[in-house]
């Protein structure tokens, strides 16, 4: 019988610099969304000014969330990320349900959604029949998971290269829009003021495009000097992402105008076709494929960590709690993640739009738990006031209140405006409640058999938290 490997404290296996983590964050966020959602946003605003403002507001909302995560992650660095925050604030029952939801709905659904887009664009470059996109989607999950299983160093290097290419592609689109746009003065489009529902829908698409920044929480156990660097990673990463998004949308608006954006199903391709001719479609296909590979690899990299953390709190699946010392990666957890994502790809292949089905499937569960994490900041400040906080969220409590209100707004929108798949995601979340019967009981035996993720913090008046850290 294989024994669970006890990894060394996180300080000795931290292998990511702040720059590495920023690159992974940018790769997580700047992906397929910027090539799909601008037309949907344009259809729900009344003027070009509103179109740009909602992207700026989306960047601000993302920064507010990043500031809250910076405090949580710097005060409680852990490879379990959000799972760890929820465990400390609400107990392991809520954390186990989150781990189940992330493993079966949120993370694997996101992996499947990105894989569908990658498959669609690879099929345009390399036609492979009716089921070619699904085959490419499945192969991409298998190949990138294999790279991550081999080791963190190999995955990190791939992410740096692919993200650099991705940013270059987005910058190329920006420059093309600004330098090759029509020199004629473009009429300003001002329609009747959009309804509150339309603006809400526009913000849902914008924040979907900004999504992915929360994954940085899962890197805090592997970032060197995480307590100092995690805030830098989140703030600089968010600023870079917002700058690229706003300028990219300005460039597309300069070429197509608001009406052109509204009538386009592939805004980047139409923009490049307008400026560079038919070859522009091929360029955009390559750019989207690069972006999807970057996002998919980074999402797979961070996703396996929560399976690893959850398996240590359950009597089920002990092999998933093993840490591969050779590759410095939770290899078994990554394999389980890939298997579930491949199952979702198979299910999504039978729907009209696999990507849209996966977005609807994940949205309400994601925003519901994000709201709980925002509230956890207040709870942990109250329960553990003496915990060192290298970074404290500014303007407390206003900033975390804004974050919680944003999450509640998005939770409502994701239930009111998405399809039936959203309720399937909620049903899958509820189906995980039987796992609560298999929680481990804290005790000396458990501490001897399970791996230690990082040096325990000192909380003399909170034995439960000390046990959680030690495990």
Q: What is the 3-state secondary structure (H, E, C) of 40-86?
A: HHHCCCCEHHHHHHHHHHHHHHHHHHHHHHHHHHHHCCCCCCHHHHH
Q: Are 108 and 346 in contact (CB under 8 A)?
A: no
Question: Measured at the alpha carbon of residue 88, what is the angle toward residues 85 and 89, in degrees to the nearest 5?
Answer: 85
CA distance 372 to 404: 8
CA distance 375 to 94: 13
Burial degree of 297 (CB within 10 A; 0-12, 13-18, 19+): buried
At 151 the three-state DSSP class reads coil
At 223 the three-state DSSP class reads strand
Model confidence band, residue 15 (pLDDT cutoffs 50, 70, 90)? low
Q: Which pLDDT score, from 0 to 100, does residue 464 have?
A: 34
Residue pLDDT, tens place only, 173-188: 788 877 876 544 444 4
Q: Are 414 and 367 in contact (CB under 8 A)?
A: yes
333 vs 253, residue with greater confidence: 253
313 vs 365, residue with greater confidence: 365
Q: Which pLDDT score, from 0 to 100, does residue 252 have?
A: 87
Q: Which pLDDT score, from 0 to 100, does residue 271 have?
A: 82
Q: Which pLDDT score, from 0 to 100, does residue 74 have?
A: 78
Q: What is the mean pLDDT of residues 89-112?
A: 87
Model confidence band, residue 456 (pLDDT cutoffs 50, 70, 90)? very low
Q: Return the minimum-mean-pLDDT range out of 189-193, 196-200, 421-425.
A: 189-193
Q: Which pLDDT score, from 0 to 100, does residue 223 have?
A: 77
Residue pLDDT, tens place only, 71-97: 888 788 776 678 788 989 998 888 888
Token pair 């046990």: residue: 467
The two structure tokens encoding residue 160: 């740096």
Burial degree of 352 (CB within 10 A; 0-12, 13-18, 19+): exposed
Residue pLDDT, tens place only, 17-31: 888 778 777 776 776
What are the domain boundaries of the chain? 12-436
The H helix count followed by the E strand count for the chain is 19, 0
Q: Return the minimum-mean-pLDDT range out of 110-114, 132-136, 224-228, 440-444.
A: 440-444
Q: Are 24 and 159 in contact (CB under 8 A)?
A: yes
Question: Measured at the alpha carbon of residue 359, what is the angle toward residues 354 and 363, in degrees to the nearest 5?
Answer: 155
Model confidence band, residue 2 (pLDDT cutoffs 50, 70, 90)? very low
pLDDT above 90 (res 379)? yes
**397: preceding bond cis by omega (within 30 degrees):** yes
What CA–CA distances, in Å, run from 310 to 61, 83, 121, 193, 302? Answer: 29, 8, 35, 47, 14
Q: Are 377 and 393 in contact (CB under 8 A)?
A: yes
Residue pLDDT, tens place only, 137-152: 899 999 988 888 876 5
pLDDT above 50 (res 5)? no
Q: Which pLDDT score, from 0 to 100, does residue 325 have?
A: 57
Q: Which pLDDT score, from 0 to 100, does residue 462 have?
A: 36
Q: Return the minimum-mean-pLDDT range out of 34-43, 140-149, 265-274, 377-386.
A: 265-274
pLDDT above 70 (res 4)? no
Per-range mean pLDDT, top range of 11-25, 187-201, 229-243, 308-322: 229-243
**Which is nearest to 323 in space by CA: 339, 337, 338, 334?**
334
Q: Which pLDDT score, from 0 to 100, does residue 466 have?
A: 34
pLDDT above 70 (res 13)? no
Distance from the Cα of residue 135 to its chain's centroid: 24
Q: What percent of the chain is modeled with pLDDT above 90?
A: 12
Model confidence band, residue 450 (pLDDT cutoffs 50, 70, 90)? very low
CA distance 72 to 220: 10
Q: What is the mean pLDDT of residues 303-332?
A: 63
pLDDT above 50 (res 3)? no
12-436 placed in CATH 2.40.10.340: no
Q: Which pLDDT score, from 0 to 100, does residue 292 have?
A: 78
Q: Which pLDDT score, from 0 to 100, does residue 415 have?
A: 84
CA distance 147 to 155: 6
**Which is nearest to 149 in space by CA: 314, 337, 343, 318?**
337
pLDDT above 50 (res 445)? no
């Amino acid at each position: 019988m294989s024994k669970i490997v006890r990894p060394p404290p996180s300080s000795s296996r931290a292998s990511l610099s702040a720059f590495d983590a920023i690159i992974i964050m940018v790769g997580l966020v700047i992906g397929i969304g910027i090539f799909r959602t601008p037309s949907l946003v344009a259809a729900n605003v009344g003027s070009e000014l509103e179109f740009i403002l909602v992207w700026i507001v989306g960047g601000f909302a993302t920064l507010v969330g990043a500031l809250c995560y910076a405090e949580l992650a710097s005060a409680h660095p852990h490879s379990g990320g959000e799972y760890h925050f929820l465990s400390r604030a609400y107990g392991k029952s809520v954390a186990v349900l989150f781990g189940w939801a992330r493993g079966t709905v949120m993370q694997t659904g996101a992996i499947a959604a990105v894989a569908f887009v990658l498959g669609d664009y690879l099929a345009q470059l390399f036609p492979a029949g009716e089921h070619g996109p699904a085959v490419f989607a499945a192969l991409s999950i298998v190949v990138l998971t294999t790279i991550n299983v081999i080791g963190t160093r190999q995955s990190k290097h791939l992410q740096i290269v692919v993200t650099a290419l991705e940013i270059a592609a987005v910058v190329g689109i920006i420059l093309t829009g600004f330098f090759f746009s029509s020199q004629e003065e473009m009429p300003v489009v001002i329609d009747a003021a959009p309804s509150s529902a339309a603006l809400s829908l526009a913000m849902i698409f914008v924040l979907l495009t900004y999504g992915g920044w929360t994954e940085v929480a899962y890197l805090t156990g592997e970032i060197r000097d995480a307590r100092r660097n995690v805030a830098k990673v989140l703030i600089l990463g968010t600023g870079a992402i917002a700058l690229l998004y706003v300028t990219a949308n300005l460039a597309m608006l300069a070429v197509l105008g608001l009406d052109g954006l509204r009538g386009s199903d592939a805004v980047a391709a139409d923009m490049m076709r307008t400026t560079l001719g038919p070859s522009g479609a091929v360029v955009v296909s390559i750019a989207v494929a690069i972006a999807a590979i970057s996002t998919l690899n980074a999402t797979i990299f961070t996703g396996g960590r929560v399976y690893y953390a959850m398996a240590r709190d359950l009597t089920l699946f002990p092999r998933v709690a093993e840490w591969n010392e050779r590759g410095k990666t939770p290899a078994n957890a990554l394999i389980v993640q890939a298997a579930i994502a491949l199952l979702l790809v198979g299910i999504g292949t039978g729907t009209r739009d696999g990507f849209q089905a996966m977005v609807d499937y994940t949205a309400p569960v994601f925003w519901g738990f994000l709201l709980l994490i925002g509230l956890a900041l207040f709870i942990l400040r109250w329960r553990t006031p003496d915990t060192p906080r290298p970074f404290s969220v500014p303007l407390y409590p206003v900033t975390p209140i804004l974050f919680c209100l944003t999450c509640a707004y998005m939770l409502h929108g994701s239930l009111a405006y998405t399809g039936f798949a959203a309720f399937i995601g909620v049903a899958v979340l509820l189906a995980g409640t039987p796992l609560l019967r298999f929680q481990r009981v804290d005790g000396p035996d458990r501490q001897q058999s399970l791996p230690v993720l990082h040096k325990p913090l000192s909380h003399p008046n909170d034995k439960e938290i000390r046990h959680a850290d030690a495990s």
